[in-house]
Structure 1
Amino acid sequence: MSASLTLTGLYLYPVKSLGGYAVPEANVTARGLRHDRRWLLVDERNRFMTQRQQPELALLAVAPAYNGFLLSHRQRPDLLPLFIPFEATPDRTLFVTIWDDMAWAWRGTPEADEWLAEALGRPCRLVYMSDMVRRDVEPEHNPEGQLVSFADGYPFLLIGEAALNDLNARLAQPVLMNRFRPNLVFGGGTPYDDDNWEEFAVGGVPFRAVRGCGRCVLTTIDQQTAAKSPVGEPLRTLATYRMAESSTLFGQNVTGPGQGRLRVGDAVTVLSRK
């Protein structure tokens, strides 16, 4: 079965909880795909902001640009796109909180903060995680001492196309893969076979599937309009058949080797199972 599996999608989300975009190839780093979730929005208390509390973050689209990316507002053509470099400069720093972690971060520019405050209608700051910051994967699932960016808890999220097809067959209104914000999408195989994966390789680059990804209300937000599903879909349907230990699971949290290069079309090979 593993010989028929293929990497069909690679996705970057340069700013946590904002839009993402597909890339044909990407470098693997110690914290995930290069440039993935290295930027973060924080509120007045320097606490992280996500679509869970601020669904309108979905309206901030991200597009690739030379040595950085462009932010634009899907419903505000009057706001000119804003260029953000992939890396910040260490001119100004502050401590930020993400979940139970506290980390120091470099500030973005005042112009970026002003643009985002106008776009969201509230004060906020854009901050960057440098390579000098250490934020660890959950200790109980991290014997290798793996690092993570501003992603929720793991450097990679893997989802199979067959799983989404199976879910959509159960829904009155199908949803797009972007509801689940994966980094790695693969085609082939049977739905949820990756539940049992342990070690696998993508184009010869080794990875470890650590545990299923518990899903939250973010999956109920349309990533084009920021509208929430009035009936809680697809989370409600997922909960009828994908519950385990009080979590609704879809996709796999994954750790990686810290280096390598991935390309869409790479073979995905299952090396061992749980």
Structure 2
Amino acid sequence: MGLRLSAITIYPVKSMAGIALQDSILDRTGLRYDRRWMLVDTNGKFITQRTHPKMAVIQPSISTAGQLSLRYQQDEHIVPLTDANSPRRAVTVWKDSVIAEQCSPFINQWLSNILETTCQLVYLPTDSIRTCDPQYAQADDQTSFADGFPLLLISQASLDDLNQRLVESVSMTRFRPNLVVTGCAAYAEDQWQQSQQDLQIGQSVFRVIKPCPRCVVTTVDPKTGLKTGKEPLATLSQYRRQGKQIMFGQNLAINWQAEVKQPLSVGMTISLSAPALSSID
């Protein structure tokens, strides 16, 4: 069968539930609509499942017109679109500060009631630029409200290997990848990063630039929004530790071509560039 793209997922609101797709369009910052919205506290600092695991069960949806809706239990609301006249504020994601548009006060109050903390939903407009960490990325690489890079990739074989080590298996949903691939060995994605191999999917080319450090979000059951103990982090720590971090999956950057429409579809074949000469001395 060869190497193939087996799943595509977007997370319109950072740390809320994802949306599985058969097809998606690649934008400058990653998959279209991925992490364009985010919750922040009164100081503008990002809020995630790390402190509010209930976010896992707030389900976004996106209309064909790009309108966001949010559902929690039986309650669902459309998030009014922001525009150039929407109030703006500075928000922070880790060490990055960007300007975001503020969403509806009604939605903010609704979400604050669910999470039992004062929060505000914000949107990243296209004229607000957040660049990636220059230690790993190129100067013009951009991302949205993701932790640091445009996309996260994990191979199905890597999850299968982890589940063979666990008493109770976990789903890929725990790790929140954008792209899942099949047709390779477990942790092959690490080898692609180490040998500086690019991935080509359709007309899109991706650089595999940095392993993804995992945190307590992986211990949240995405079906219940409850923390389930120390797994799978405890098991991962036994064989996936690099220094003080536990790695699983690889971050991707985009070789962006503004003039080329870059669709992605489940089932697409994936080709690898030749390894960099410096990696095979």
TM-score by length of 2: 0.91
User: 2:265 matched to 1:269?
Assistant: no
Gaps of 5+ in 2: none
User: 2:140 matched to 1:145?
Assistant: yes
Decide which moves more: 60-69 or 169-178. 60-69
SS at match of 2:217: helix
SS at match of 2:26: strand
User: Could you tell me whether the CA contact under 8 Å between 2:131 and 2:139 is conserved in 1?
Assistant: no
Decide which moves more: 4-13 or 106-115. 106-115
User: 2:210 matched to 1:208?
Assistant: no
User: 2:54 matched to 1:56?
Assistant: yes
The alignment's C-alpha RMSD in Å is 1.5
> For residues 118-157 of structure 1, what are the structure 2 equivalents within 5 Å?
118-157=113-152
SS at match of 2:45: coil
Total equivalences in the alignment: 266
Query: 2:95 maps to which residue?
Result: 100
Query: 2:72 maps to which residue?
Result: 73
SS at match of 1:272: coil
User: Could you tell me whether the CA contact under 8 Å between 2:42 and 2:119 is conserved in 1?
Assistant: yes
Query: 1:188 maps to which residue?
Result: 183
SS at match of 2:228: coil
Query: 1:256 maps to which residue?
Result: 254
Q: 1:88 aligns with which of 71, 76, 82?
A: 82
The whole-number CA distance in structure 1 between the counterparts of 2:205 and 2:88 is 35
Q: Give the C-alpha shift of residue 204 in structure 1.
A: 3.5
Letter of the 1:217 counterpart: V
User: Could you tell me whether the CA contact under 8 Å between 2:38 and 2:122 is conserved in 1?
Assistant: yes
Q: Give the C-alpha shift of residue 111 in structure 1.
A: 1.8
TM-score by length of 1: 0.93
Q: 1:35 aligns with which of 26, 33, 51?
A: 33
User: Could you tell me whether the CA contact under 8 Å between 1:19 and 1:61 is conserved in 2?
Assistant: yes
User: 2:247 matched to 1:223?
Assistant: no
Q: Give the C-alpha shift of residue 144 in structure 1.
A: 4.3
The whole-number CA distance in structure 2 between the counterparts of 1:254 and 1:272 is 17
Letter of the 2:83 counterpart: T
Cα deviations across residues 95-124 of structure 1 (Å, max 9, x unaligned)? 111111111110111121122122222211
Letter of the 2:121 counterpart: L
Q: Give the C-alpha shift of residue 246 in structure 1.
A: 2.0
Cα deviations across residues 104-160 of structure 1 (Å, max 9, x unaligned)? 110111121122122222211000111111111111112342001000000000010
